Amino acid sequence: MKLVIASNNAHKVEEIKAILAPYFDEILSLKEANLAIDVVEDGETFEENARKKAEEVLAVADADAALSDDSGLMVDALGGAPGVHSARYAGEGHDDAANNAKLLAAMQDVPENARACQFVSAIALARRGRETLIRRGEVEGMLLRAPRGQAGFGYDPLFYYVPAGKTFAEMDASEKNSISHRKRGLEAIREALAAEQA
């Protein structure tokens, strides 16, 4: 069984390989599979975007399955924003710093007890001749008023994970990956695959 991951992010690919290796003989990134495909993520939910990306990659891949994730930050006080627009929250062409600045401005009058947020990752596994598996992983946090930490990317410096007493950007990669929303989504996919084989 060959799996293509709809990503060229080396860290993401390694994490997926570590969790799903028992179910696939070969796991490749887009680059390793010689695929150059850019799927337009125009869904209204993380699940819609993940499904579309996985199914479109599988349609052009020489593989048995394709896996995609769509993830972002949902802030309760903002009705779930930035949500599916997390990467482009400050507009096309803007970077993490601009996205974080816009989020902090939107949250400046929100009190400490109302700053709950979640990192969400929807994982879709498209397979030939079978239904697409979709699972969601979430991790709860609180949104800080200023960034802390130098590691990670995106909203990690603002995402305070209470059980660890630090932001995602203050964690090393192994610590963050052990509790991340993507890991939880991937483990849910792994459980679904194990249940199918049982």
Got the DSSP string for 39-73? -----SSHHHHHHHHHHHHHHHSSSSEEEEEEEEE
Q: Mean pLDDT, the chain, as a whole number?
A: 93
Residues 136-147 have pLDDT tens digits of 999 999 999 999
Q: In 3D, which of 9, 22, 70 has the Cα closest to residue 187?
A: 22
Domain boundaries, the chain: 2-197
What pTM does this model have? 0.91
Query: Domain 2-197 class?
Result: alpha beta
So which residues are the catalytic ones?
Answer: 70
Give the separation between CA 102 and CA 16, rounded to whole angstroms.
Answer: 31
Whether residue 9 is predicted with pLDDT greater than 90 in this model: the reply is: no
